[in-house]
Amino acid sequence: MSYTTIEVNGKAVGLKFGYLSYKLIMTDKNRSLMFSDDGNPNDLGVSKIIYSGYQNNCINKNVEAEIGFDDFSREVDKLAASEEGIKKLTEIIQVWTDSADIQALVKDTGEKKSQEIPVEILTESNSSVTESLESVPGT
């Protein structure tokens, strides 16, 4: 499990990226809105990934998540407005991408999909943003 921090509302907040973080992103009903056509997270995706790390951290510590998603989204918007902030966001997404838990789950998911779906029935319409997301952490 990978760990980093971000400042939200003037307070340092821990982010842990593991199974729960991955599950929250992969099962989000609005997942297709979080990633560009090439599979990279957009501003909403970055916010959701960071928030999933916060939720993962809270559950690991067995504490209630007290900060809402809107606060994380505002913080991402603030950080995206400066070169230093973009660097911080890039570092956080890299921690998420490099998480051993995330990479193992992506690999397992990819192997299961290749076993379950014969190549003959794959069509171009099956190539969605969500499938691209599954390949991002492993690259």
pLDDT for position 108:
64
**Number of compact structural domains in the chain:** 1
Average pLDDT, the chain: 80
Residue span of the structural domain in which 38 resides:
2-135
Spatial CA neighbour of 75 closest among 64, 66, 88, 65 = 88
> CB of 65 within 8 A of CB of 54?
yes
Residue 70, exposed/middle/buried by CB under 10 A (0-12, 13-18, 19+)?
A: exposed
The mean pLDDT of 39-59, rounded to a whole number, is 93
Torsion of CA 39, 139, 93, 100, to 10 degrees: 130
Categorize the per-residue pLDDT at 76 as very low, low, confident or very high, splitting at 50, 70 and 90: very high
Predicted TM-score (pTM) of this structure: 0.72
